[in-house]
Amino acid sequence: MMTGFTNTPAKPITIQHRLYIINKAGTGEAHYIVLTPDHSDILSYNVKTDHWKITKDICNFGVAEVDNLLYIFGGYNKRSARHLDACYRYNPFEGTWTTLPSMPRPRAKFSTNVMKGKIIVTGGELPDGRQSVMCDMFDPVKNTWKELRPLLSPRSNHACAVFNEELYCAGGCNGNQFHNNLWIYEGQKWQELDKEYPQKLPVNLDRFAMVKQGRSFYFIGGVSCKRDRDFPGRFKFVTERRIFSYATSVSALEETQSDSMSSRLVSPWCNKLPTMTFARHSAGVAAIGHKIYVFGGSVLETGQQVRLVECFNTATAEWEDDFRFRKGDVSNVTCVVLEVPNKQDDEQVHYKLKWVLW
């Protein structure tokens, strides 16, 4: 009789493609649903929740994903009443958080976007309550910060999105005023879009969502500032149900019925899209296949959070009610997709060592 051992082949690790709906109101919750591997559809509507100590009591921080690593930047600590400059990186395969070099300045209510593998932080609210023009770039490989050219004007609660390695910045707040700007970062500086085209949002917006789908940007919800018809000289704030889009490329020439070709302005804006069922601000958005999903958010007038998830079908230009969040806080959220090992397969990660009697 002799003894020996053999390596039993491990079962392949199952990877979940999770769409996280991350709370930015200080609860530390990170809800998630599972997508198909190609991210074209929702695989499971079973909403689960992780609890992250790193975001507990922190609101209005920045979130970015690079190479399946999650980055959390800055924000406002509600307990200490302090703006933060802290930065953290989360590895979903190891389940660990790493502290990174701090941002050049503490701030909250800024925008974070990934362009050419770098994370760009724009604007935000400073500790003294003022809005910032500063833009900084974080290199995830070198773990270093670099200052970029500033915004054209201070902004917080604005939105940014990337198309063809160009960064667009829209709307936001400066002081007590909302704005309808649409700027582009090219040639290592911010500038207005081509003056020959309408380059302003159709409404002054704050706390709205901006997402790229195809060759267009979609602007969803938010809070607008309008003149009060009943009280001249006063303004009122309205939570928006609307969605409108901006095409990144349009033709300025249109053939007429006459024999000649006339040049006339063709607007890149589409303002006639149907509205959502619920008005909302501070919602999370995600482009999944040809649909744009809108998660959570709040209604300014009532203070209530919106639990109904709606999706906009860009192929049919129609809204659909999808599902509801039954638990948790979704009043102020953002979305990110991460590939995560299925916890049910944890025991299969390593080879098992077996002793066999011969």
For the segment 206-242, what is each residue's pLDDT rounded down to a tens digit? 999 999 999 999 999 999 987 777 777 777 899 999 9
Q: 255 lies in a domain?
A: no
| Alpha-carbon separation of residue 348 from 6, 241, 344, 345 (angstroms) | 16, 47, 9, 5
CA distance 8 to 351: 6
Average of pLDDT values for 163-178?
94
Q: Which of 147-156, 160-169, 295-304, 338-347 has the lowest mean pLDDT?
A: 338-347
Average of pLDDT values for 268-277?
94
Q: 273 lies in a domain?
A: yes
What pLDDT is recorded for position 252? Answer: 46
Count of structural domains, the chain:
1
Rg of the chain on CA atoms, in Å: 23
Q: What is the dihedral of CA 59, 65, 71, 72, to 10 degrees?
A: 0
Q: Which of 171-175, 323-327, 344-348 has the lowest mean pLDDT?
A: 344-348
What pLDDT is recorded for position 254? Answer: 45
Strand partners, 352: 8
Reported pTM: 0.88
Q: 257 lies in a domain?
A: no
Q: Kindly tell me if the per-residue pLDDT of 66 is higher than 90.
A: yes
CATH number at residue 230: 2.120.10.80
pLDDT, one tens digit per residue, over 289-318 is: 999 999 999 999 999 999 999 999 999 999
The residue segments making up the domain with residue 155 are 3-248+265-357
Q: 27 lies in a domain?
A: yes
What pLDDT is recorded for position 352? Answer: 31
Q: 253 lies in a domain?
A: no
Q: 254 lies in a domain?
A: no
CA distance 167 to 47: 32
Q: Kindly tell me if the per-residue pLDDT of 204 is higher than 60.
A: yes
What pLDDT is recorded for position 196? Answer: 59
Average of pLDDT values for 338-345?
81
CA distance 135 to 150: 5
Q: 104 lies in a domain?
A: yes
Q: Kindly tell me if the per-residue pLDDT of 134 is higher than 50.
A: yes
CA distance 303 to 318: 27
Q: 337 lies in a domain?
A: yes
Q: Kindly tell me if the per-residue pLDDT of 31 is higher than 50.
A: yes
Average of pLDDT values for 165-182?
94
Average of pLDDT values for 49-73?
98
